[in-house]
Every structure is written in structure tokens, then in C-alpha cells.
Amino acid sequence: MAGQSKVDALPPWGSAIAGSAGAVLANALVYPLDIVKTRLQVQVKRAASSADGNPADDEHYTSTLDAISKIVKADGVPGLYAGMPGALLGVASTNFAYFYWYTVVRTLYFGYRKSTAPPGTAIELSLGAVAGAVAQLFTIPVAVVTTRQQTVSKHERKGLIETGKEVVNSEDGWTGLWRGLKASLVLVVNPAITYGAYQRLRENLFPGKKNLRPAEAFLLGALSKALATIATQPLIVAKVGLQSKPPPARNGKPFKTFIEVMQYIIQHEGLLGLFKGIGPQILKGLLVQGFLMMTKERMELAFILLFRYFRQVRAEQLRKLADLAAEKAKQGGPLLTK
């Protein structure tokens, strides 16, 4: 059993490719929900009076369906996919980095412990947090650019590179691409909770089962993501506020910290404002995480079978070479020829 697990274990890059491919597919399927939840999270509560001509008051969304309707009316159906190339690039890079480092730190942990016993919940969360923090350092610039693309009107929207240049030129230089880094580092508890809960639910509901069926992986992924989203929604809202353009009421002055964003939201919208957009956020999370884990499980199995096939082919080639060398030795011929 132990030998089989070593043979079938994927290298870190194999898990990273499987995880990032699953994430890209899942996010592409539900991308309009990403646009909607971002717009809902970045908007400021409608003012009682529009006498000041605040442009934010002209486009206020009251629900997910209302947001979809108004986005389509203003920008057409393509408006629901604004910033999608950058978003999928960010999803691919973030998940590749996360799953790569998650596999690495788990391997190091088990190597240090010299045990195959599953880690406790606290250790599982810690391993996920370390992997998430390393991944965020490398991938947050894409998230900053994508958020900008998703929260501006069709006429203001620019390409990925042009938006990145605008962020660099209009704010804090190159460090502007890492806006919201502190919030992102705090938010590593989200994937940590997600994958920690996933591992724990899997061990409790399907003990000893090596490969889950698609429906089982979907269910576990959806449940674990819902728990993580509810726990971290205020930080998610604050991060979006940091990475988007500041509200008109701030006269172009960007937020400096996620605490400042949260204070502003509470002051203008109350505590419930920290949970705005949670409907599409949870729905997106349920679908994405469900599809991601379902796809990742299938892709990991496909990689394992592919690697096993290559090992068999290589073993067959080595056997043939050995037989050929033995035959030449019997005939008295040279073992090696040019």
C-alpha cells in the first residue's frame, strides 16, 4: 500500500497543473457571477439625494439579477465577460502557485514527521495558509488589474497591459500593483479553511477512499467553500475596495489599508455593508469550488494513469535494450555500437 501510494503520488507541478486547469474551467463557466459580485461589493449605498451628481448613483444594483440586467443593458452580453482574459490568467497563476506550494509544504511536513497519518485541523489550516501566502506574493498584480477592468464602465475599460500601466502611473508606482497585499495575505485563511475543511470532510465522510466520484468531489468542494466564504466575506469586500477606484465621495483619494475600507463601509452602510455581494459570492464559490475539485480529482487521476503508462513504456524499452544487449553478447558482437 505504501509503495503504491509513492508510485501513484503526483509531483508538485502535476498537482499544480491539475488544480489550475480545474480552476480555469470552473471560473470560465461562472464568470458572469464574478463580475456581478465585484460590482456589488465595490458600489456605495445609494445616496438619499443625487443633487451632487454622483455618477455612482446612476448605476446602482439592488440584487444579482438586477446587476445582470443593467450590465447587459449598458454593455451588452460581452459586458458580463469584461476582464475575463486577465481574470482567467490570474486564476490559473494563483491556483498553479497555490497547489504547487500546497503539495510542497505537505510533502515537507510528512517527510519531517516521517508519518503518513493525516495532520490535525490546525496543521492542515497552517499548511494551506503558508501555501496561499506564497502564491499571493507572485499573483496579486493580475488580481489588481482584473478588479480594475471589472469595475469601470465600457468606455473607460482598457486592455490588460494598458490597465496595468494606468495603475502604475496613477497611484504608488509599481507598488500599486500590490495594492491589497495585506488583505490578500490575511485572506489566505480562505483557501486554508476551504482545503482544510475539504480534507477533513473527505476523511470523515469517505475514509480510505482514494478517488472520489465527481458528485462526491463537487459536494465536498461546495460545502468547504461556503464555510470559508461566510467566515471571510468582510475581508473579501475590503480587498475589492482597495483594488478598485475609490468612491466619488473620496475625491480620488485611494484607500490605504483594508481597515480604512471597512471603516468607510460601516460609516456609510452599516455593518451589513461588509457582507454585500455575499449571495453571488457564495453561489460563485459553490459552483467554482465544486467544479474545481471535481475536475482536479479527474485530472489528477488522468495524470497518474499517464505517468503509469510512460513508466510502462520506458520499462518496455529498457527491457528490449537489455534483451538486445544480451543477444549481441551471445553472438560475441560488441555491446555498444555507434
List of E strands, 76-147: none
Could you give the residue ranges of the DSSP H alpha helices within 180-273?
A: 181-186, 189-205, 214-243, 258-269
Judge whether 296 and 19 are in contact, CB under 8 Å: yes
Q: At the fourth CATH level, which superfamily is domain 10-331? A: Mitochondrial carrier domain (1.50.40.10)
pLDDT of residue 302: 75
Q: How far apart are CA 251 and CA 246, in angstroms?
A: 8
pLDDT digits (tens, 9 = 90+) for 31-49: 898 888 888 888 876 554 4
pLDDT at 56 over 80: no
Write down the mean pLDDT value for the chain.
77
Q: Which of 57-66, 252-261, 325-334 has the highest mean pLDDT?
A: 252-261
pLDDT of residue 48: 47
pTM for the whole structure? 0.57
pLDDT digits (tens, 9 = 90+) for 127-184: 777 887 887 777 788 888 888 877 777 777 777 788 888 877 776 677 777 777 777 7
Q: Which residue has the cell 501566502?
A: 133
Confidence grade of residue 53 (pLDDT, cut at 50, 70, 90) = very low
pLDDT digits (tens, 9 = 90+) for 216-238: 887 887 788 888 888 888 888 88
pLDDT of residue 172: 67
User: Which residues are within 8 A (CB) of 141 and not within 5 positions of it... i.e. 6 or more apart?
Assistant: 164, 177, 178
pLDDT of residue 308: 79
**Complete DSSP assignment for 287-336:** HHHHHHHHHHHHHHHHHHHHHHHHHHHHHHHHHHHHHHHHHHHHHT--S-
Segment 252-266 shows an average pLDDT of 84
- Give me 74's grid cell: 449598458
